[in-house]
Amino acid sequence: MKFFLALAAWLVCTPVFAEQVVTDDLGNIIHLAAPPRRIVSLTPHITELLYAVGAGERLVAAVDYSDYPDAAKTLPRIGNAERIDHERLLQVQPDLIIAWGSGTPARELDSLRHLGIPMYLSEPRRLEAIGAQLREFGEIAGTTAQAEVAAKDYEHRLAELRARYAANPRRTVFYQLAQQPLLTVNRDHLINDVLTLCGGVNPFANLPALTPRVDIEAVLAARPEAVVFALYPGESVTAVEKFWRGYGLPATTRYIGIPGDYIHRATPRVLEGVERICAGLR
C-alpha cells in the first residue's frame, strides 16, 4: 500500500512534458521528448547564440574557436569546423546537437545523423533571421523570457541602423571572403544582406553558389568602389589594399576591414560589423 501511495505522489509531483516538435532552418523536423539539458554546438555562432538566450549552462561541448562569451572558452572541445570527434561527442552524452547547415561539412552531418541524436541545423541568412533564431533557441531550451529580451534588443538596434544609414549612396562593393582562392558571397548569404543595408551593390549577387569563386579579372571588370573583408590576427587593411592596387584598382577605392567575429558570425555582434561597413560606405 505504501508503495502505491508513494508512486501516486511521484506521479503527481513529476512534471509531464509534451513532445516538442521543432522545424530547423533547412526544414528538417526534430522531435524532442523534453527541453534538452545537454547541448553540443558545432560552430562558434551557435555557441554565442545559446549563451545570449540564457542556455549556456546547458552546453556540454563545442568546437574550436567557440570563444565568446568568456564562459565558452572553458567548454570541452569535440572537434573543429572540418571534423568532429564522434568518440568525444558521445562521451558528453548530448540530447541535442546544433550544427551549421552550410558550414558543417555535409559528410560530418551525414555521419552524425547515424548516431540517432536529435540534430538542429542553423542557417540564418538575413539579418532579421538572427532575432528569430534567438527566439527559436530560447523556445528549444526553455529560456523564452531571456531569449525575448535578447531578440528585442537586437531588433531595436537593427532598426536604428537601418534608419541611420537609409540615405547611404548606392555603391558597388566587392566582398572578399577569402583571397586564396578568391571567394565572395551571393545574394543568399547573410553578408549580402549587410551590404544591402549599407547601400552596397554586390556585383556577384546572382552567381549560383553561396560562396562563389571568382577571378581577379571579374572583380576588376566590376569596378568596385569599395572592397570589404574580414580581418583576423596578422592581417591588415594595408596588405589587402596593396594586393588590389597591384592589379589596377584605382586609388579612390575604399578598403574596409572588419574584425572577423563582427561579420562572419550570425549573432547580435554582427551589428558591430554593419555599423562599420555602413560608416565606411557613406
Nearest-angstrom CA–CA distance, 102 and 90? 23
The closest alpha carbon to 33, from 116, 95, 110, belongs to: 95
Percent of residues, the chain, with pLDDT higher than 90: 91
pLDDT of residue 9: 39
Residue 54 neighbours by CB under 8 Å, 6+ apart = 138, 141, 143, 146, 147
DSSP 21: E
Mean of pLDDT values over 128-151: 97
Q: Cell numbers at residue 195, please?
A: 551590404
Nearest-angstrom CA–CA distance, 180 and 33? 46
Query: Tens digits of per-residue pLDDT, 220-232?
Result: 999 999 999 999 9
The closest alpha carbon to 98, from 146, 45, 139, 147, belongs to: 45
In this model, does residue 4 exceed pLDDT 60? Answer: no
Residue 13 neighbours by CB under 8 Å, 6+ apart = none
In this model, does residue 16 exceed pLDDT 50? Answer: no
Q: For 206, what's the count of Cα atoms within 13 Å in the CB-facing half-sphere?
A: 1
pLDDT of residue 17: 53
pLDDT of residue 50: 98
Categorize the per-residue pLDDT at 19 as very low, low, confident or very high, splitting at 50, 70 and 90: confident
Phi/psi for 20 (5° steps) reads -100, 125
In this model, does residue 42 exceed pLDDT 70? Answer: yes
pLDDT of residue 34: 86
pTM: 0.90
**Mean pLDDT, the chain, integer:** 93
Query: Tens digits of per-residue pLDDT, 68-110?
Result: 999 999 999 999 989 999 999 999 999 999 999 999 999 999 9
Helices in the chain by DSSP H: which ranges? 2-13, 44-52, 86-91, 106-113, 127-141, 144-164, 190-197, 216-222, 237-246, 270-281
Structural domains of the chain in order of their starting residue, each with its CATH number: 10-158 (3.40.50.1980), 167-281 (3.40.50.1980)
pLDDT of residue 8: 40
In this model, does residue 35 exceed pLDDT 80? Answer: yes
pLDDT of residue 114: 92
Mean of pLDDT values over 159-179: 97
pLDDT of residue 81: 86
In this model, does residue 13 exceed pLDDT 60? Answer: no
Mean of pLDDT values over 200-217: 98
